[in-house]
Structure 1
Amino acid sequence: MSKLIFKTIILWILIAIFAVLNGILREKLFVSLMGIKIALPLSGLTLSSIIATIVWFFLPKMGLSRRIDFILVGVLLVFFTLIFEFLFGYFVIGKNFSELLEVFDIKNGNLFLLVLLVIGFSPWVCAKIKYGDL
């Protein structure tokens, strides 16, 4: 179990690095070229694709074979992401709780909920595609 958690943390760190780079790309390029209303959902779709790709290539290195392990990896990735989002947002950026909840508002074009779904389900979906019936 501790190996699974350690490998999931490594996977999450890799995803987090690409998420930060995606955010920089959004703010420095997408927003200036197309405005926030297009840049925000485009960034969410881009990040979702990046996450699925990272999971696809990292999954074989995890050495998992049971469906429950892939599901647990997805749950842990979502947990780590939410913890980071709220702790970083509150303690580092200084956002209050209502500001932190704005990432869940899809009316503004924020696709963070989609990103969470991709993070949560991609380990199981990728394993199902790669390895067949689990």
Structure 2
Amino acid sequence: MPARRLPLRGALLAWLAILALAFLNGGLRELVLVPRLGLPAALVLSGLLLCACILAVALACIPRLGPLDRTQWLGMGLLWLLLTLGLEFGFGRMVQGRSWPELLAAYRFRDGNLWPAVLVFTMFAPLLAARLRGGGRPAR
């Protein structure tokens, strides 16, 4: 039996859900967490919340996309990572007119910033979710 192809449509829809949650998370961070907790604590909590949101989306989509193999789940994570980086750098450069040093500053663990760890988590979230859900077999 030939290997099943990665369901790109489902992977893209899941990433769009993650994107929406990331924007909401950023709003929560800036409007509520930073004023109440200060920047370092707000960045840590926001990073952890975003990881939880990413995992929740991955867990929700596994039954609809599976069963896939380990390589396919990692491929989905790589797709999510590349889409995130493409959006961040593309939007930052073309729309916001930010310089490369400004954009790359977000990739330092500084003042509680967990963004680099969130990106790594994004890459492995589909595989982790599939393992938590029993290998990505369809829910019964």
Same fold (TM over 0.5): yes
Superposed, 1:2-17 pairs within 5 Å as 4-17=7-20
Residue 82 in 1 paired to residue 110 in 2? no
Structure 1: unaligned runs, 5 residues or longer: none
Aligned identity (percent) is 33
Q: Aligned residue for 2:43? A: 40
Residue 124 in 1 paired to residue 127 in 2? yes
Higher helix share: 1
Separation in 2, partners of 1:66, 1:48: 23
Structure 2: unaligned runs, 5 residues or longer: none
Give the C-alpha shift of residue 58 in structure 1: 1.4
Separation in 2, partners of 1:71, 1:10: 17
Residue 111 in 1 paired to residue 94 in 2? no
Give the C-alpha shift of residue 132 in structure 1: 4.2
What whole-Å deviation, never above 9, does each CA across 1:20-62 have from its counterpart, x for those lacking one?
0000000000011111121111111110111111111111111
Give the C-alpha shift of residue 14 in structure 1: 0.4
Give the C-alpha shift of residue 108 in structure 1: 2.6
Give the C-alpha shift of residue 128 in structure 1: 1.5
RMSD of the TM alignment (CA)?
Answer: 1.9
Q: Aligned residue for 2:94? A: 91
Larger of the two Rg values belongs to structure: 2
Q: 1:40, 1:109 within 8 Å by CA — same for their partners in 2?
A: yes
Give the C-alpha shift of residue 129 in structure 1: 2.1
SS at match of 1:124: helix
Q: Aligned residue for 2:56? A: 53
Give the C-alpha shift of residue 91 in structure 1: 1.5
Greater shift in the superposed pair: 9-18 or 99-108? 99-108
Runs of 4+ in 1 over 4 A off after TM superposition: none
Matched positions, count? 134
Separation in 2, partners of 1:85, 1:63: 28
When normalised by structure 1's length, the TM-score is: 0.91
Q: Aligned residue for 1:30? A: 33
Q: Aligned residue for 2:23? A: 20
Separation in 1, partners of 2:132, 2:24: 28
